[in-house]
Amino acid sequence: MKTAILCSGGDCAGMNPALKYYVEASLAGGDTPHFIYRGFEGLINGDIREVSYPDVSGIVARGGTMIRSARSERFKDPAARAAAAANLADKGIIGLIVLGGDGSNRGLELLCEEHQLRGVGIPATIDNDVAGSDYCIGVDSALNAIGRCLDQIRDTAASFRRAFVVETMGRDSGYLALVSAISSGAEICLIPEIPFDLDSISRRMRREFDSGREYAIAVVSEATDASNQLVSIFQEELEIDSRLTVLGHIQRGGSPTAFDRRIAFEFAEAAVEALQDMSKQATFLCYRGAAIAEHPPGALGTLFPETLMERARLLAR
């Protein structure tokens, strides 16, 4: 059987290990693997190539994706999806694996429904917001990158009477911000899933600074759009020198952690196996209860454990 894999949307550490294990599992099972370069955009353009072991040699430790990714507006057009399906048919490819987030999964679902293609979606996004999955490839690597930055910022903050507001990525999900705040010992955390009271936070920090606190670290999810407000509170209300650090795309890059490499292996193995099921069109994999499972596409939203949510409430008031 001829199959193919592509990466869609934002890149993340762990995509390259998934590509390597997909190729190895496919060849071991007698399939013929293909890479599609630049995501759905490349699929529309027919940028497809058969690959083998030498093509994935040494890529496990590399961040990002060697086959590149893209956000394809053209793929929203049924005519573009028809062209994509025709390109797969021309190569004799009947199974497609997509590494990406919620939007990528929805694109795969449409393609499979309209053109009788078999597809498997693997959750790969640092946002950790794919429905039904407790974990997505790339999250642990992003958390480690954020954690290193927060540790270094704390060193500087401790040398001054200063507050640092650190903004993390995550789109509409506060997962990265919350877990980073807890693991770094931050004094404040603002995420969209928990209501926060900036006046109450100001009063709390006033008490703490009056009691001897010398510095503070606040981790803020980009989804709250509250970073500048918090900086103003520190500077104008609390009269504490404050700095805003927007971590940006450093959260996506870097060598994948051992955990992301292992999860990529498990997802890739499961995806190749799922393509063998002739009775299904679109299958979406998820990580639930420390195991790979299947889940139908659905709304965004990762359910945080209540212990994390309780900690979030304490850091937001």
Average pLDDT over residues 16-32: 98
pTM over 0.85: yes
Average pLDDT over residues 142-150: 97
Smallest Cα–Cα separation from 98: which of 147, 139, 136? 136
Average pLDDT over residues 170-176: 94
Encode pLDDT of 221-247 as tens digits: 999 999 999 999 999 999 999 999 999
Q: What is the mean pLDDT of the chain?
A: 94
Q: In what order do the strands lie in the sheet with 188-190?
A: 188-190, 216-221, 162-168, 241-246
Q: What does the pLDDT read at residue 300?
A: 47
pLDDT higher than threshold 60 for residue 298:
no
Q: What does the pLDDT read at residue 311?
A: 85
Superfamily of domain 140-252: Phosphofructokinase domain (3.40.50.460)
- The contacts of residue 277 (CB under 8 Å, 6+ apart) are 118, 283
CATH class label, 2-138+256-294? alpha beta
- 9-13, 103-107, 196-200, 299-303 — which is least confidently predicted? 299-303
**294: pLDDT confidence band, cut at 50, 70 and 90?**
confident
Kindly list the domain boundaries of the chain, sorted by start residue.
2-138+256-294, 140-252
Q: For this structure, is 127 an active site residue?
A: yes
Average pLDDT over residues 144-164: 95
Average pLDDT over residues 301-311: 73
Strands 162-168 and 241-246: parallel
Strand extents, DSSP E, the chain: 2-7, 32-36, 48-50, 93-100, 118-123, 162-168, 188-190, 216-221, 241-246, 282-288, 291-294
Domain 2-138+256-294 matches domain 140-252 at the CATH topology level: yes
**299: pLDDT confidence band, cut at 50, 70 and 90?**
very low
Average pLDDT over residues 59-66: 97
Cα diameter, the chain: 71
pLDDT higher than threshold 90 for residue 312:
no
Average pLDDT over residues 252-279: 94
Q: What does the pLDDT read at residue 98?
A: 98
Which of 31, 127, 129, 140 is catalytic? The answer is: 127
